[in-house]
Structure 1
């Protein structure tokens, strides 16, 4: 049995991996790299012979795990794609939005290979989609050589890890995982039995959480910062990812209003893509997924200024409002980027609050690294903007801490541990820790395109 990374680079990006059992070939995730345009954003699908893949496992709907799925299925039309039910619906919506983004980039940047797939392509490959529930074993290939089980990964709605039994060996792939309960989504429930091979994310391996951190205290700090801004008649911009972070923040805001921590009549704005994702989140309430408040429906129970076809024109900038706008990294031509440039950052009464990761090279990263009064380049095609507003960073990551990931590795005691989805410094931390704490485990940072034998 062989494991091969199909990533172009050993880092966070276009996640995709091959598990070849000799009897079946399984691709784990089919991502698109968020920092590379055109064909450079794709995994190394040229390393797969046409017609050779039995199935594709999609652990969740973020584009770095599902964004190239139509490309892979066009090359491997005999394959089936397995998701949880919620992940399948979210992925379909995200992929359709990705087509729109690629079409815009083709015009604006002259990237001739865009779009990599069309809306019609997505409709056609949907017939390959197979949904499976959590903790219900199923076959990943027609002959039943690989028996698999999805486990709730606690990262975003519908996110899964997967165990695979094949050739007398047990392989676990975590996907993106969070072991802690967040505001809306409950933490991961993973098996703790020994595995022969563990393929595990290492996203936060280079960052140590504050020793005094608690989720409760972080939420308190968050609401106090918002309340200060609203009290001085300023507004709050919270750059968020349309799927996952938006719904987590909205759930927090709902609770804050119910407790009287922020004024109940505070207007809250979200964009169009966030609204589409939230509709799906609400659909999977009431027992369909594990969540902290099962009866809560965001769009029904909150008085939101939601992005719909009924709302014409740009989002209005007003005093005393909260804006949860995508993208979380404030990439060019996104709602949060455009809104920040439209007079928001210059106003010292306002505040911008970051609630998740931002690449240092992104517009959000530029803001986070700067000081009050600095001019920030939000779009190379436009003049820099002075950041006079207050800026705060909060830790509401959807990824497990490095300590909890390490704890999980020590529990399952893998014969081989493949460290993926992390930059070199993150991987290096895990390598050093496992060398000391689990010397019997072979720890591997897989090189793209190289085959590693399991068992």
Structure 2
């Protein structure tokens, strides 16, 4: 069994890996780097000979894990694609939106390579999907040389880790994983059995959660912060990722209303891609492993859904005493959350801007988080700086496991080889130091692009 990273750079980005055994080859994930453009945002698919891949496994539908699947399959048209039914639905929606974004960037940024694929290619690919449920082993290649099993990863709807067995060896790839229950999403159930190699994410390795943290207390703190803004007739902007974070936050707001933490009639607006993703979440409300089974967000909540046309994002009105759960979570330029912040939220001291997810320090959201009250911040280069007068707070609702939980899991599995992936250098270094002390028997590897590792 041979493991190779196809990532263009070590760290978080265009996640993709190759596993080879007895001549069979499977690609694990096919992501797009969120901070790069054009071919540089793709994995190193040039390391694969055309027509050489038997199967592709997609662990979940975030862009950094599925965003270049059509590019891969153009070079590997014979490859089967294995994923969960939930991931299939979300991935198609995400990829179609990605085409729209790339078409706009071709014009705005002059990137001639965009779009990297077209809408029709996504539709053709979807017809070839091989849908698989969790904990149901299946053959990856036609000859059954590699056998796989999906495990619930607890990250977003449909997310999985995967065990792969071949040549008498076992490799477990966690994908993105979260062991804690969220509002809708239940925590991961990954196996603790012996493996020869563990490939594990390290996203939060440089972040220590405060000792007194509980999910319920953090949710209630958000509810109280929203209540204070509504009481002073301000409005609340919650920048959210359209997939996963939007649905978790909406479920929180539903509870806040049910328990009178905020006024029941407080208007709640969603917009951008969030509406489409929420429809998919609702479609799987009875068929997926989740909390609040049967709860359908769009049917059971009185929401105000905004115009989903990317070219006309200002169709959502800015009114007093309302909550706006708008994408994108990092407040990227020309998204609905960026527009609302720039044209009314930031400058009014009655309002609140509450972050409920990650924001890269270089992103508009990251710049706001690093600023202080009264600072002028430019969040769209095409427009002037705006003052931060509103209340700004950050809440911890990460969909990734804490570093302590990941470390505990590695120790329980006790693999001979541990591959540390999906983490920036400080995060990876924390795990290397901890494992050297607490699990000296494991060989710790940070796979570099193109390097082959025998398992």
TM-score normalized by structure 1?
Answer: 0.98
User: 2: CA distance between counterparts of 1:345 and 1:130?
Assistant: 46
Does the 8 Å contact 1:273/1:307 carry over to 2?
no
Does the 8 Å contact 2:270/2:303 carry over to 1?
yes
Q: Which runs of 5+ in 1 are unaligned?
A: none
What is the CA-CA distance between 1:309 and the residue it aligns to? 6.6
1:188 aligned onto 2:206: no
2:274 equivalent in structure 1 = 274
Does the 8 Å contact 2:152/2:159 carry over to 1?
yes
Does the 8 Å contact 2:377/2:387 carry over to 1?
yes
User: 1: CA distance between counterparts of 2:370 and 2:97?
Assistant: 30
- CA offsets, 1:363-406, max 9 Å, x none? 00000000011111111121111111000000000000000000
Does the 8 Å contact 1:352/1:392 carry over to 2?
yes
What is the CA-CA distance between 1:313 and the residue it aligns to? 5.4
Question: Could you say if the C-alpha distance between residues 155 and 434 of structure 1 is closer, same or farther in structure 2, counting changes exceeding 3 Å?
Answer: same
User: 2: CA distance between counterparts of 1:368 and 1:355?
Assistant: 12
Query: Matched residue pairs, number?
Result: 453
Does the 8 Å contact 2:88/2:126 carry over to 1?
no
2:95 equivalent in structure 1 = 95
User: 2: CA distance between counterparts of 1:233 and 1:349?
Assistant: 7
What is the CA-CA distance between 1:224 and the residue it aligns to? 0.7
Give RMSD over aligned pairs: 1.2
Does the 8 Å contact 1:205/1:401 carry over to 2?
yes
Does the 8 Å contact 1:24/1:54 carry over to 2?
yes
1:332 aligned onto 2:333: yes
Structure 2 matches for 1:166-315, cutoff 5 A? Answer: 166-286=166-286, 288-308=287-307, 314-315=315-316
Does the 8 Å contact 1:285/1:295 carry over to 2?
yes
Q: Which runs of 5+ in 2 are unaligned?
A: none
Runs of 4 or more consecutive aligned structure 1 residues displaced over 2 Å after TM superposition? 307-313
User: 2: CA distance between counterparts of 1:126 and 1:98?
Assistant: 15
User: 1: CA distance between counterparts of 2:275 and 2:438?
Assistant: 45
1:389 aligned onto 2:390: yes
What is the CA-CA distance between 1:220 and the residue it aligns to? 1.4
Question: Could you say if the C-alpha distance between residues 363 and 272 of structure 1 is closer, same or farther in structure 2, counting changes exceeding 3 Å?
Answer: closer
What is the CA-CA distance between 1:312 and the residue it aligns to? 9.2
Question: Could you say if the C-alpha distance between residues 362 and 351 of structure 1 is closer, same or farther in structure 2, counting changes exceeding 3 Å?
Answer: same
Does the 8 Å contact 1:240/1:326 carry over to 2?
yes
2:28 equivalent in structure 1 = 28
2:423 equivalent in structure 1 = 422
User: 2: CA distance between counterparts of 1:178 and 1:387?
Assistant: 33
User: 2: CA distance between counterparts of 1:126 and 1:91?
Assistant: 9
2:376 equivalent in structure 1 = 375
Q: Tell me the SS of whatever aligns to 1:164.
A: strand
- CA offsets, 1:204-247, max 9 Å, x none? 00000001111111111111111110000000000000000000
2:73 equivalent in structure 1 = 73
Does the 8 Å contact 1:138/1:147 carry over to 2?
yes
User: 1: CA distance between counterparts of 2:404 and 2:38?
Assistant: 36
Does the 8 Å contact 1:238/1:324 carry over to 2?
yes
Does the 8 Å contact 2:313/2:335 carry over to 1?
no
What is the CA-CA distance between 1:272 and the residue it aligns to? 3.6
User: 1: CA distance between counterparts of 2:314 and 2:41?
Assistant: 32
